[in-house]
Amino acid sequence: MVRKTKRVLALALTAMMATSALAGCAGGSDGGTQNSSQAPTGNNSATTSGGDVVSDVSVVDVDSDSVKQKLISAIASEAAKTNNEIKITLWCSSDDRSFEKKLVEDFKKEYASDQYTLDVDVNSSYGEDKAGGKIIESPGDGADVFNMADDQISTLVTAGAIAKVGDIFKGNVVANNTEDSVSACTVNGTTYAYPKTSDNGYFMYYDKRVFGDDEVGNLDEMIKKASENGKSVYLNVTGPWYMTGFFFTAGCDITYDVTTDTQVATFNTPEGLKAAKAICHISESEGKGFSGTPGTLGDNAYVQQGFEDGTLAAAVIGTWEGPVIKAAIGEENVGAAKLPTVLMDGKQEQLHSFGGYKVVGVNTHSQYPTTSHILAYYLTKESSQLSRYNERGLIPTNNKALEDETVNADPARKAIQEQAPYAHQQGTSVGGTYWAVNPQTVGTEAISNKGNLSDDKLNEILKNIVTQIDSAKKS
């Protein structure tokens, strides 16, 4: 992607941009699907990896006093319609709630004015996995600003439930964040969300006291060594997010059509059977160096407990668990690497994964669209992403934040980069219908039977999954 940016140096011109472009912050009932108006500084453009063109990537100095005052005036104008009070809601994950509340308090101080009162309710009623679905179900009752995984953007756009990025912030979002993260937020040339973190994927965390850095490349060997040390390697094969990596590895085609909200997965194939048999193979070691299910705890709690009590020597998980793993075994003992190889059809094959981004969206039905977009941008700008990394360990999407010395040295960032060639973007691979058909049945049955499942049984399970997907597609 060739990306040309034009910095706006004249504060007077910047202020004019701020005033005129704020109109683009209001999403409208059409979901912000209209083309963005051009700012008066030219017509630069960037082409996303998907071929979409993001118009006008002029960068605005949003933190300048001049622009900030214009934004405060815009908030005041919006507040004047409701007795000079702004009340908006922010949805985030329960893990992030404390941190997001701190950022919101900083935001309120930054944009404080005697012209209005600014109240932001930060709650975790709907986390990043459920926010988009709830907004679509009942947009009028949804949060003004919400955190989500990038695979929810397309369905939100189709439903007209997510506003396009405000014109004044569009150039900054496009120019300041990584190419792939911007592409993930862009549908048909329009950018609809603010990239926040680049770690909506998974890799392998391991205890360096058990495994050397050269001993985490083969899952069978890892399981064997973990067992010898009275510990286990954790990979949740009973959850669809992790289990699907085996099907990607086998070459199964999994696609999602946003225009019809339909899912196609070629699981009921010889390739699908190879993936299922690979899951059965490692499930034979359940309780003997391998753990394939979190039981009732859920992934995060299971991983935290396992490293704290010493029962886990490695786990396939994401950066959000990095801080607790470091606290449990000591930062100096934490290693991170791309996923290992797995035995599939008699050969060791590199295990694939899902990859993606966490982003922030604005509800088209917000009563305070201007304030909501200003908040969304504030939560995702460079300094906020760095603060989020320092406190939560979440890898940024902002290019400058990624240059930070501490971020660069984080083994998790290297692991994400090494896994990237084998990571499949959720936004183009799966939609809501995929999670609804319980594709994890293969792993659940494999764990329950310690991998002892016949090919006929596996083919029956795979056929069932595809039938469920087809039924969801036709409904």
Using the predicted structure, report yes or no on whether residue 44 has a pLDDT greater than 70. Answer: no
**Pair 360, 376: CB distance under 8 Å:** yes
CA nearest to 414, candidates 307, 319, 328, 315: 319
Using the predicted structure, report yes or no on whether residue 40 has a pLDDT greater than 60. Answer: no
Using the predicted structure, report yes or no on whether residue 10 has a pLDDT greater than 60. Answer: no
> Model confidence at 429, in pLDDT bands (50, 70, 90)?
confident
Domain ranges in the chain are: 11-199+357-403, 203-355+415-474
SS3 letters across 159-226: CCCECCCCHHHHHHHHHHECHHHHHHCEECCEECCEEEECCCCCEEEEECCCCCCCCCCEHHHHHHHH
Architecture of the CATH domain 11-199+357-403: 3-Layer(aba) Sandwich (3.40)
Quick: pLDDT tens for 45-64.
Answer: 333 333 333 344 588 899 89
Query: What pLDDT, on the 0 to 100 scale, is given for residue 101?
Result: 97
**CA 203 to mean position of chain CA atoms:** 14
11-199+357-403 against 203-355+415-474: fold identical: yes
Query: What pLDDT, on the 0 to 100 scale, is given for residue 434?
Result: 78
pTM: 0.78
Instruction: Flag the least confident range among 39-53, 94-108, 335-349.
Output: 39-53
Query: What pLDDT, on the 0 to 100 scale, is given for residue 432?
Result: 67
Distance CA 345, CA 330 (A): 38
**How does the average pLDDT of the chain come out, rounded?**
86
Assigned fold of 203-355+415-474: D-Maltodextrin-Binding Protein; domain 2 (3.40.190)
Q: Which residue shows structure tokens 């029956």?
A: 460
Using the predicted structure, report yes or no on whether residue 79 has a pLDDT greater than 50. Answer: yes
> Model confidence at 37, in pLDDT bands (50, 70, 90)?
very low
* CA torsion through residues 169, 171, 174, 175, sign: negative
